[in-house]
Structure formats: C-alpha cells, structure tokens
Amino acid sequence: MARGDLFPPLEPYRTGTLAVSGLHTIYWEEAGNPDGAPVVFLHGGPGAGASPTHRRFFDPRHYRIVILDQRGAGRSAPLGEIRENGIPDLISDLELLRSVLEIDRWLVFGGSWGSTLALAYAQAHPERVKGLVLRGIFLMRQQEIDWFLYDMRTFFPEAWSTFVAHIPVNERGDLLEAYYRRLTSADPQTRMAAARVWSVYEGACSTLLPSPELVSASGEDNHALGLARMEAHYFRNNKLSPEAALLENIDRIRHIPAIIVQGRYDVVCPIRTADELHRAWPEADYIVVPDAGHSAMEPGIRSALVQATERFKTL
C-alpha cells in the first residue's frame, strides 16, 4: 500500500505511569488495536517528548501502538531531571515497560535521538526486536555534537547567531559547557531563558523551508526545558564507549529487518551519518527523501515513514 500521509487522529485506549527508579516515573500510552502487532515509538531530543501526532504513523487497525515519554521528558516526572538519566537507564525502562505490557517482541520506531536509542536498545536486546524504522540518524559521536553546536551555522547563520548571542563572548569557546551551566542553574529564570534559545535554535534548523509553527512550538516552556536540559546533559555526560559503538555493533542486529529514512537536506542530523550507517549495514533498506530536512513532519519524510510501517505489516 502506497499510502502517502498520516492516519486520522486517534485517542489512546489506555494510559499509565511507571515508576522506573526512586526518582523517575515515565508516562506511557497504548492506542490502536489491543490485539494488534506491537510497535513502540521512541521520540527525539532526547527530551522532546511524544505528541498525539506520533500515533498517526501507524494503522490503528493493525498496530498496538505504544508511546512513552522518556525520563525527564514530556509527561514523565520530574520534567528535565538529569540525575539517573543515561542510555542504559532508558534501555532498562523500555525492557521494564515491555514486560509490564506483556509484549514478547515489538517493532521499534525512532527518529533523530530516537534512532540512537532504538539502535542501542536493539543491540542490547535483539531478541525483543521484530524490526526497526529509523529516521534522521544520530549516532552520538563528537563530530555530530560539534556539528549541532557550531557548524549548523553553515546553513542557518541567522539562527546560530541568535543561539551564540545568548552566551557572553568569553564563554563561546565551549558552547556546550556554557549552556550546560545555565540549564542546570539554581535560578529558574536562567534555566528557562537558556532552554528557549537552545530549543528554538534546533526548531529553526529542522525544516527545509521555514516553519513559523515549529519555531513557535519549540519555544513552549515544557518542551524547551525538557529538550534543552536533556540534550545538553546527554551531549556532555553520555558519550558512548567506544564512540562508534552503534556502528561497530551492527553485527548484533544485522539480521533484523530495518528501514532507514533520511532527508537529503537534514541539517540537524546530516545525511553523512545515515550514509555511514547504511554502508555498515547494507542489509537495511535505505530511503533518501530528496526534498526534506530533519523534521518527521516534512511531507516526504512523513510519507516515507508511513509507507515503512505499512510494509512492516507483513513482518
């Protein structure tokens, strides 16, 4: 089926919260067919949280759609909490949620940071993954983090100028550390001001053509705080070891069916990274959308992702 757009809006049939540590509680929901093929949606960021639109990538007649907000994001609590928040923790949360929901194996769908987490989870628990749909590939390497902090100005100099202007000149040699100090400040106004600038910067760079709606949504308080604090925390404190671990461990998941969707003009997660993943994993289907940036809501990206979930109906 060559469906070209999202499925109609739908409400979850079940929602809940799950205590995953003494500090963190995560939000989760299920929508679609309670007896359908399980699929879990992993949002980006880290820290962006999920939205009702994310349910619509999946045919609700076929899929049992599981969506969660990762630690510190969205409706999970505490919002923006960076303690006890690392890649192994998020992998453990997925396994706990899968067990609580009594799901044996599921399709894993993740974009941007969600692609990072999907790959890390699949490599840790390949026996639990029926397939992977990955979008806007990010592999958590220093070169990708540096690109975000400094080199997106190549294409978005105006947005980068606003991003860097928030930091005094004498601190601009290490933008990550400068933002991290502000995002973890004891002063709520300092935290919020830095979070808005960081989040709007990312939103402004996420589409091929300007999207005032996305930029406006990026500045919303809860979204900005969760996104900016989590991204700065993960960029600073959650480096993979070795750095290229997600590429080097592809053999663990080489047998798992996968579809990689990448915008040709994705500036937030440039196509070079997706190309490296494809070359390491030629067994995975690789779809380059010729007229798209980073956002999952770019028309061509959206269409390719829906077509991917349609293809996985036969898995």
For 39: left if phi > 0, alpha if psi spans -120 to 50, otherwise beta; the answer is: beta
Q: Of residues 59, 69, 93, 266, which has the active-site annotation? A: 266
251 annotated active-site: no
Q: Give the CA radius of gyration of the chain.
A: 18
266 annotated active-site: yes
Q: Measure CA 174 to chain center.
A: 24
Q: Of residues 69, 233, 294, 295, which has the active-site annotation? A: 294
Q: Of residues 112, 115, 218, 303, which has the active-site annotation? A: 112
Whole-angstrom distance, CA of residue 192 vs CA of residue 187:
9
59 annotated active-site: no
**Are 303 and 294 in contact, with CB atoms under 8 Å apart?**
no
Residue 144 carries which side chain, given as an amino acid letter? E
**Are 24 and 76 in contact, with CB atoms under 8 Å apart?**
yes
Tell me phi and psi for residue 292, to 5 degrees.
-145, 150
Closest CA to 280 of 93, 170, 136, 119: 119
The secondary element (H helix, E strand) that includes residue 29 is strand 25-32
Whole-angstrom distance, CA of residue 256 vs CA of residue 2:
23
Q: How many residues does the chain have?
A: 315
Indicate the SS3 state at residue 140.
coil
**Are 276 and 247 in contact, with CB atoms under 8 Å apart?**
yes
Catalytic residues: 112, 266, 294
